[in-house]
Amino acid sequence: MVSDFFGPDHCHIIDADFSSHPFDAANFLLKLLRDAGHEDGLVVDIGCGSGVLAEVITQAGYSVLGIDISASMIDLARHRVPRAVFRCESVMETCLPTAVAVSATGEALNFVGGLHADRAAILGLLTRIAASLLPGGIFLCDVTLPGILGSTHVKHRWHEREGRAMYVGSHEDIISEMLSRQIATWRQVDGALWRRSDERHLLRLYPLDWLAESVASMGLSVSILDDYPHQDSAREPMQGRAVLTGISSRAGAALLKIGNQRCGARRLRTSRSACDGSRPYVATRESAAASG
Ligand SMILES: C[S@@+](CC[C@H](N)C(=O)[O-])C[C@H]1O[C@@H](n2cnc3c(N)ncnc32)[C@H](O)[C@@H]1O
């Protein structure tokens, strides 16, 4: 039977085996915050998951409000970061307080759009995010893009570790721009019996230009990366996704500085074109290999 959304066993596996991306996202956000001159303040983490980003940001001296619709994720987050505040609710139904940064990592915007919202509703959310940012504040998200599964539009993936395993069958509907994932997890409970749980996730896919233009039209300078900067060479690169940063003009110079740094195997070559919200956004990315 297909059970709940981000239930306990799925959350356990995500937390145990897939925490390197939010960890890298957190360190990237910290760098953006410091370069923009924000030494403290509130960071709002939308779709905060098990609190990996919240832990890094809190340890660095910021306050964190994490918002997530999954009770299992919120339980893990509260356990991991007792000093942060977590709300178990949909971001579509909650107020966003004024903040130095808002993050929505780990495809959070795709999930929000899949559950609740068409593009117009996501525009409403982006407007609320932009309005909640202090001058020089930072918006950071990563999103899965249309075409992620290539020409077959289908992918099967198996993951296993001691005492746990997960199958993910993904299918992209290119007409509706939706990605569905059938997820089965097996977890050994009490050291003996295996428990199976099933979930179905729906993600709304956003064309990168549409998202970047939307964020830029809200007065934020937009920059795009292929992945978060990271040190771990064994870490699986993000594929079919993009990291988008929106920042007010006061911090634009800092963002450009970061933009000149290498990002894993990739290099950022964008920013100026989107700094002026009145002009159309043009994404310009290239790989380090291509650019030498
Ligand atoms: C893949 S997880 C990402 C967790 C974490 N941000 C990370 O980077 O690893 C996506 C999260 O978004 C949450 N989510 C989905 N729809 C949401 C909504 N409408 N409001 C708040 N959280 C939501 C899910 O419960 C899930 O924890």
User: Residue with the nearest Cα to atom 12 of ligand 1?
Assistant: 47
pLDDT score, position 230: 87
147: how many CB neighbours lie within 10 A of its CB? 13
Q: How far apart are CA 141 and CA 161, in angstroms?
A: 28
Atom of ligand 1 at shortest range from CA of 18: 9
- Position 278 scores a pLDDT of 27
Say how many Å lie between the CA of residue 60 and the centre of ligand 1: 23
pLDDT of the chain, 292 residues: tens digit per residue: 445 689 999 999 999 999 999 999 999 999 999 999 999 999 999 999 999 999 999 999 999 999 999 999 999 999 999 999 999 999 999 999 999 999 999 999 999 998 877 889 999 999 999 999 999 999 999 999 999 998 999 999 999 999 999 999 999 999 999 999 999 999 998 878 999 999 999 999 999 999 999 999 999 999 999 999 987 877 888 889 999 999 976 544 344 334 333 322 233 222 322 222 222 233 333 222 223 2
* Residue with CA closest to ligand 1 atom 8: 106
Q: In ligand 1, which atom is closest to the CA atom of 11?
A: 27
Does residue 72 line the site of ligand 1, with CB under 6 A?
no
What's CA 192's distance to the chain center, in Å? 35
> How distant is the alpha carbon of residue 72 from its chain centre?
18
List the residue whose alpha carbon is closest to atom 7 of ligand 1: 106
Q: Is the CB of 111 under 6 A from ligand 1?
A: yes
70 lines ligand 1 (CB under 6 A): yes
Q: Is 66 in the pocket of ligand 1 (CB under 6 A)?
A: no
> Considering only CA atoms, which residue is closest to atom 24 of ligand 1?
47
Question: Rounded to the nearest 5°, which phi and psi values hold at 266?
Answer: -115, 165
**For ligand 1, is residue 110 a contact (CB within 6 Å)?**
no
For position 271, what pLDDT does the model report? Answer: 31
Residue matched to tokens 């594929």: 239
Residue 116 CA: nearest ligand 1 atom is 19
Residue whose CA is closest, atom 14 of ligand 1? 47
Task: Give the separation between CA 101 and CA 93, rounded to whole angstroms.
Answer: 19
Q: Is 187 helix (H, G, I), strand (E, B) or coil?
A: strand
Q: Is the CB of 115 under 6 A from ligand 1?
A: yes
User: Is residue 122 within 8 Å of 63, Cβ to Cβ?
Assistant: no
Q: Is 68 helix (H, G, I), strand (E, B) or coil?
A: strand
Name residues whose C-beta falls within 8 Å of residue 176's C-beta, 6 or more positions apart in sequence.
none
Domains of the chain (ranges; CATH) run: 8-145+205-291 (3.40.50.150), 150-204 (2.20.25.110)
Beta bridge partners of 104: 141
Substitution candidate for ligand 1 out of 23, 28, 70 with most atoms within 8 A of CB: 70
- Ligand 1: centre distance to CA 69 (Å): 7
> Which pLDDT value is given to residue 272?
27
With the most atoms of ligand 1 within 8 angstroms of its CB, the residue from 20, 53, 68 to mutate is: 68
pTM for this model (two decimals) = 0.86
Of 89, 111, 126, 200, best ligand 1 pocket probe by most atoms within 8 Å of the beta carbon: 111
